[in-house]
Amino acid sequence: MLKIGADIGGTFTDVVMVDEETGELSVSKYPTTTQDPSVGFTQAMDLIFGEKGVDFKNISQIVHASTLATNTLYQRKKEGDTALITTKGFRDVLEIQRQKRYDLYDIFIEKPKPVIPRYYIWEINERMSCDGQIVKEMDEEEVRCVIDRLIHRGIRSVAVCLLHSYANPSHEKRIGEIIKKMSPGMMVSLSCEVVPHIGEYERTNTTAINAYVMPETRRYLEKLVQGLNKSGFSEDIYIMKSNGGITMVDELNRFPVHMIEAGPAAGALMAAFYGNDIIHCSNLVSFDMGGTTAKLALIEDGRPRETNWFEVDKVKMKDGSGLPLIVPAVELIEIGAGGGSIASVKLGVIKVGPESAGAEPGPVCYGSGGQEPTVTDANLVLGYLDPHYFLGGRKVLDKEAAYRFIQEKIARPLGLDVIQAAWGIHDMVNRNMAAATRIVSVERGKDPRRLPMVVFGGAGPAHGPRIARELGISRVFIPIGAGVMSALGLLVAGLSFNFNAPSMILLRKEILKPVHQQFVSMEREGEMKLKKAKAKGEYAFFRTADMRYLGQGEHFTVPVPDGGLRENDLEEIKRRFHGLYHDLFGYKDESQPIEVVNWRLTAYCPSSPIKLKKYYSTGRDLKAAVKGKRKVYFPEAKGFIDAVIYDRYRLFEGAVIDGPAIVEERESTTVILPGDRVHVDEYCNLTIEIQRE
């Protein structure tokens, strides 16, 4: 039987199919159809099915990831669809945000724009205390009047976030019941269900974003399921979440905010898989550059780093400049640097991104109406891409148009020739990504020079070696099928469900028994959800706690021992907290009381392991893999030089390639710099030894 992973990105839709018995891998890449992503998904599936002579009856599992929720959030085209109901006096929480400024000395600082404007926020005169006591009863007639206004305004989705509802959700749940009775078609997001978490702004923003993206994601998922069922696929469809786990469609119909970073999380999972199983390195940097963005992650001890909150739609590449989401996720740095990132001239210098040409109209060279030069256009002009072998020859690129628009929009305003301008675009995007790599490594206490880099994504192999050289990274690993690796990562993800019990108590022995009972209750609920999701395999439960010194505002997550909690477990939790605190801040104070903010549990069932088929070429003559030569620009050579072009599908285990060279495959192109050396393994993966500058 066959398993399919499908990743709908901002520019391309990637599909991989793996034979569970042989490990044979089939891949497909098709431009994303932004108006209806299911069309591009269907086209990509048809390419594989036509090539292999199979259909949906042969498919045992489909795992899907989509940027639809992310794009809906970033594009902000749905104003007027979503409203927020909150406690009287808290209408401005989304506008006020946080007192802390992400750039202390910038007097023109720009805050991220809330997803729900103030004139779509309504107040209810009710009040809860922080311990869940009702301070002021809710007037249900007032609630009905507010809902009448929402119906009159044509609101499709409403977020409900009342003060301290994590401690007592009764008022929120009653509002949800009234909405369902008065307007059954209206979608409802209750903060007590979406994110029962202490932190008024973060909780309100997460619930608001969940409500904002829900209409589009629900419409798409329902259409996806219906289309696949009509095509003959009768099994359950699994959807990727931001934390690297998969879940059922019904779960994400209610909580689509968990889809925001799904695709990038899958890529980080696959990088960890290659690190553990292929190159036997448990610590590395994952670098994924697609058509719209570049994503970087740190893999430690064989797993991507995880976080319980992250920011989206950042104004700048600084913490605090985005909208916070209290959602479990793979910890990533994401910047607007992809093949479709638009280049422009700002204040006399070249600026690249974060704006992207996307799939429609795409880069100038696509010939689909694009009027702004992009990174892909620059790579084409520099000779890194073959205009006749893009997507394996299914699309011919217009090199003359790319040359002309770079000259008009970049070179002429700066007084440069076209090649200098194209190199400036390529170099600028590399520098942006090198800076992001330093954030994900150096700022987390890791020296990138000691870590190999796994490079993937459609544009990643053309840029990864240059970024590695700038950072002093000595080894770059580029897997076969790098252009669709995030889609393959979907197939190594396991089922997972996350649970959260808010708490504001001191860590002491009196709490151990009730906390253990709380964990047991969450484990039972997790087991029920895993069974409902038809999980096959042994269940695992991971316990953690969000903790801080008493009186502090920030907390971090600490692992909690399994089993019945005893006094020696209490000491172990304290030891772990003090150790992590010292690692983060270089200081600890074991005399200070510790406060627990949340108890967390993840219920997990691993997927059935995938095995990759070893690649055996029909010959072992490297000359047979040579497609020819072409002029390629390298600044080390001070201009264009002849580079040998290799067909990746004709390489073999033990082959060695010296740069400068180009290795082409259908979904991506690898640029090998002068002085670098490539070794090919039994899977046709490339390991590049980077020359130190």
- Which CATH number do you get for residue 601? 3.30.1490
Domain identity same for 6 and 108: no
Q: Decide which of 196, 212, 228 is a domain's last residue.
A: 212
Out of 190-194, 305-309, 429-433, give the one with best mean pLDDT. 190-194
Answer yes or no: are the C-beta atoms of 437 and 448 closer than 8 Å.
yes
Split at pLDDT 50, 70, 90, the class of 105 is confident
Answer yes or no: are the C-beta atoms of 594 and 509 closer than 8 Å.
no
Q: Decide which of 573, 605, 637 is a domain's last residue.
A: 605
Q: What digits encode the pLDDT tens for the residues 397-423?
A: 999 999 999 999 999 999 999 999 999
Domain identity same for 107 and 155: yes
CA–CA dist 323, 205 (Å, integer): 7
By C-alpha distance, which of 323, 282, 680, 205 is closest to 451? 282
Report the percentage of the chain scoring pLDDT > 90: 54
CA–CA dist 633, 641 (Å, integer): 6
Tokens (6 digits) for 451:
């870590």
pLDDT higher than threshold 90 for residue 305? no
Domain identity same for 205 and 231: no
Domain annotation covers residue 23 = yes
For 635, residues 6+ apart whose C-beta sits below 8 A from its C-beta are 423
pLDDT higher than threshold 90 for residue 436? no
Give the lowest-confidence range in 151-160, 263-272, 523-532, 638-647: 263-272
Tell which wins on pLDDT, 187 or 620. Answer: 187
Q: Decide which of 212, 232, 266 is a domain's last residue.
A: 212
Tell which wins on pLDDT, 71 or 380. Answer: 380
Average pLDDT value for the chain: 89
Indicate which CATH number applies to the domain containing 145: 3.40.1360
Domain annotation covers residue 341 = no
Domain identity same for 626 and 661: yes
Report the percentage of the chain scoring pLDDT > 70: 99
Cis before residue 363, ω within 30 degrees of 0?
Answer: no
Tell which wins on pLDDT, 260 or 99. Answer: 260
Q: What digits encode the pLDDT tens for the residues 148-175?
A: 999 999 999 999 999 999 999 999 999 9
pLDDT higher than threshold 90 for residue 693? no
Domain identity same for 78 and 208: yes
Domain annotation covers residue 97 = yes
For 78, residues 6+ apart whose C-beta sits below 8 A from its C-beta are 72, 212, 215, 216
CA–CA dist 66, 474 (Å, integer): 33
Tokens (6 digits) for 503:
């708490």
Q: Taking residues 124-134, what's their average pLDDT?
A: 92
Domain identity same for 571 and 633: no
Tell which wins on pLDDT, 672 or 103. Answer: 672
Answer yes or no: are the C-beta atoms of 403 and 409 closer than 8 Å.
no
pLDDT higher than threshold 90 for residue 319? no
Q: What is Dmax (Cα atoms) for the chain?
A: 82
Domain annotation covers residue 558 = yes
Distance set, CA 24 to CA 17, 432, 616, 617, 664 (Å): 8, 36, 12, 14, 20
Domain identity same for 504 and 536: yes
Domain identity same for 178 and 139: yes
Domain identity same for 189 and 91: yes
Domain annotation covers residue 589 = yes
Torsion sign, CA atoms 537, 248, 334, 598: negative
Cis before residue 354, ω within 30 degrees of 0?
Answer: yes
pLDDT (0 to 100) of residue 50? 85
pLDDT (0 to 100) of residue 100? 80
Domain annotation covers residue 222 = yes
Tokens (6 digits) for 392:
């394996």
Domain identity same for 159 and 146: yes
Q: Taking residues 198-211, what's their average pLDDT?
A: 94
By C-alpha distance, which of 162, 89, 86 is closest to 121? 86
Q: What digits encode the pLDDT tens for the residues 469-479?
A: 999 999 999 99
The total number of structural domains that make up the chain: 4
Answer yes or no: are the C-beta atoms of 257 and 210 closer than 8 Å.
yes
Tell which wins on pLDDT, 38 or 510. Answer: 510
Domain identity same for 198 and 105: yes
Indicate which CATH number applies to the domain containing 51: 3.30.420.40
Domain that holds residue 661: 622-689
Q: What digits encode the pLDDT tens for the residues 586-621?
A: 889 999 999 999 999 999 998 887 888 877 666 688
Domain annotation covers residue 45 = yes
Domain annotation covers residue 352 = no
Domain identity same for 183 and 87: yes
